[in-house]
Structure formats: structure tokens, C-alpha cells
Amino acid sequence: MLVAWLALAPRAQAAQLEQVLLFLGAEHSRLLLVLDEPASDVSSHSSPAVGSAPARATVMLDDTALASRLITPYLQRPGGAEMPVGQHGIKQLVFSSMGPRAQVVVELERARNLSITAVGDRAYLLDLRLPDTPPDASLPEAPALANWLAGLSMAPSKAHEPHARPRIVVDPGHGGWDSGAVGCTGTHEADVVLALARRVATGLERELGAEVLLTREDNTFLSLHERAAFANSRDADIFISIHANAAPAPTVWGIETYYLDVASDANAAAVALRENASVHTGVQADDAASRVLSELVVSGTSAMSRKLANEIQGAVVQNLSQLMGPGQTRDLGVKSAMFTVLVSTRMPSILFEASFLTHPDDEMRLRTPAFQRATADSIVQGVRSYLAATESE
């Protein structure tokens, strides 16, 4: 059995485990635990499989409770919850409250060597590697994760020179065999968001002098992982994924913008399930609820992504309200959900839902060039405001 221990300053009030990030490689993975305040002590140990019990890596956080938002989305068990993984030798994560301690168990197909490192003053990185295997250089290191916790890009800054102009990836959702939502009169989400994305790209280049890259420029299918990898490999400064919404009830309409976090409400969770459904070819959204949808399993948020979402949503709603008149624009706000395409990106990222194709008036508006032009111009305005705000900080 391997044991690792971090001795920390004692504290009188319990911390909360609020966020978990699991980075998966074929033989090497890392688990980041983020608290609202430091734990008084942190220890970890690994154990081999015994009988029917799997190999385990266990982390104990003293004077720490499990935040409800961390465990609520997952399968509940007495005193905690289970997060299924089922990828790259990781079976699942098990969260438990053990008196004044929070326990996180990583159930493994094979025992792994482990170490634990403090990341900043309130996060801890567990390194899990199969014996006699090289480290996976694609996994983020502690300094990059510390930057992410501070609201910066997770990509290590030392690997790239600063860009001379903003580099922005615009991602038209769906495409190819995946048409996305289908409107009342047969409008395909994949088609309308490609048209909108092209307008956004043109505006970002013209108005902001940005370097803009589209993940697709025609009716081509790209997996959610490929879209995120496209942005990561080009070290983008911003990632904007553009979609059109859908709902079971034809009375639901409006505009909303998402950033990555556990779902802010039931409707947000439903939207994420629909957009994530293409992760598995042929898997419907209802089936996707029980699956881990990305090689990066995450419960957390980015302050910069939230800021970007607020700037874009605010600009779109204000400008469309002026253009369309009272009662023709409905602000559904900025929300959070577990979108796979956002989970895997390593820069400030948002997912914009232009309108509901399942609402007759929303569909009609979204098909019109004037509405598309105003929406695209507003997204550009939101990005401009975001860049100005971040440059002044």
C-alpha cells in the first residue's frame, strides 16, 4: 500500500469539497479536488484489488464536507454519491462523508502508483499512474491548473508566445449526419448555426481584427472531442460554440448562454443532454444521462467563461430588444451545465443558444438575415466588451 500525506494548518470551521476534475489518459490520470477553503489535513493511499473489490485510490480530507452541488447530479448512496466513469481503467468515483472527513475513492481496474500535490491553497492534485509506464505529457500540470483556478486558460502559458491579435475559435454546432434540432417547418439546427457562425466570424475579423477559426465551414460532422481538440491545438484565446435550442413544449422560447458547471437548473441539464447526445453515435439524449461524456470529467466553473457568457448574453438581448421591439425578445439568462464541448476546452468557453427552433416565431426569426445579422453583431460586441474588461484587469 502506498500512502501520501499533506500536513496543513489546523482550522476551526469545516471546508467544503466543491469541484472535481478528472483528467484521463490511457495509463496515467490526474484528479483535482477543489475546496472552498483549505482542509486541515489531506492524506491518500492506494490498495490493490482483493476478491471482488476493485483496486482503489483513496483521498481523505479532514474537517471537510461534500458540497451538495458536487454530488447532487450523480447516483446517490448513503452519505454520498457515485460518479460513473468507465474509461481508461477508471471505473468510478465514490464520494462519502466519514464523520468530519470527506472521502473520495477512485475505483480502478488495476492498482496505480500515486502522489498528491497542493495546487494553490485550496486544491489538491492526485496523480495516478500505472507502474512502469511513462507520464502522459498531455495531462495538465499543477501550475496550469492553478492558473485555471485563478480564471486563466488551462493551457500552460510558457508553451506559446502571446498572440498579436485575439485568436477566437467559432464552433457551429452539429453538422453532417447530426442535424441537431429540427424546427417546426423543417429548419435544421446545423444549417442555421453555420450561417450565424459565418456572420460572427466575419464580424470578429472586421470589427476586432481577430484571427478567427471555424471548426467547420460546411456540412461536416465533427465529434465534440474533435471540436475541443481543434481549439486546444491552436491555443485559442476564446471558444464560442453556437447552437439553436429545442424543447418538448412548443411554447418555450428565448435566448440563453451557457458556461461550464454543474447544471444550474433542470432545464439547463436537459439542454446539455440534448447537445451532448452526439458523443455516442446513435445514443439518444435520455440514454446519455447515465454516461460520462468526455475524457475530462469535471464539476466546476471558470470565472472568465462566466464573464464572457454574461457579456455576450447582455449584448444580444439588449440589441435584439431594440431591433425587434417589446415582447419579441425573451432573456433566459446565463446558465451553467455540463456541456462536453466546453468541458474539454482549455480556454474561456461559452455555448450560445440562439433561439428555439421548436417555437414557431423563434424559428421564423432565426431564419431571417436581419435577425442573424443583429445576433452576430451583438456577439461581436459582447466579445469586444469581454476583451476590454480582461485587458484592464
Q: Cβ atoms within 10 A of the Cβ of 77, count? A: 12
45-75 tens-digit pLDDT: 999 999 999 999 999 999 999 988 777 767 6
211-266 tens-digit pLDDT: 999 999 999 998 877 887 788 788 888 999 999 998 888 899 999 998 764 333 44
Task: Assess contact for 100 and 11: CB atoms under 8 A.
Answer: no
Which CATH number does 162-391 carry? 3.40.630.40
Strand pairing report for 167-172 and 211-214: parallel
Percent of the chain with pLDDT strictly greater than 90 = 48
pLDDT at 15 over 80: yes
Model confidence band, residue 154 (pLDDT cutoffs 50, 70, 90): very low
Domain ranges of the chain: 2-132, 162-391
Range list of H helices, the chain: 68-71, 142-149, 189-208, 224-233, 266-276, 285-288, 303-324, 340-343, 360-367, 369-391
Task: Assess contact for 262 and 70: CB atoms under 8 A.
Answer: yes
Q: What is the pLDDT of residue 149?
A: 67
Q: What is the average pLDDT across 33-43?
A: 91
Backbone φ/ψ region at 317: left (φ over 0), alpha (ψ -120 to 50), beta: alpha
Mean pLDDT of the chain: 80
Q: What is the pLDDT of residue 294?
A: 32
Kindly indicate whether the domain formed by 2-132 is annotated with CATH number 2.60.40.3500. yes
Q: What is the average pLDDT across 88-93?
A: 88
Model confidence band, residue 197 (pLDDT cutoffs 50, 70, 90): very high
The C-alpha atoms of residue 61 and residue 140 are separated, in whole angstroms, by 22
Strand order in the sheet with 55-62: 2-7, 41-47, 55-62, 101-108, 90-98, 80-87, 75-77
Torsional sign, CA 138, 141, 143, 145:
positive
pLDDT at 119 over 60: yes
Model confidence band, residue 381 (pLDDT cutoffs 50, 70, 90): very high
3-state secondary structure of 299: strand
The C-alpha atoms of residue 24 and residue 276 are separated, in whole angstroms, by 19
Q: Cβ atoms within 10 A of the Cβ of 343, count? A: 24
Task: Assess contact for 295 and 24: CB atoms under 8 A.
Answer: yes
DSSP 326: T
DSSP 188: B
pTM: 0.59
291-336 tens-digit pLDDT: 222 323 333 335 678 889 999 999 999 999 999 887 889 999 988 6
User: What is the crossing angle of helices 369-391 and 303-324, to 10°?
Assistant: 140
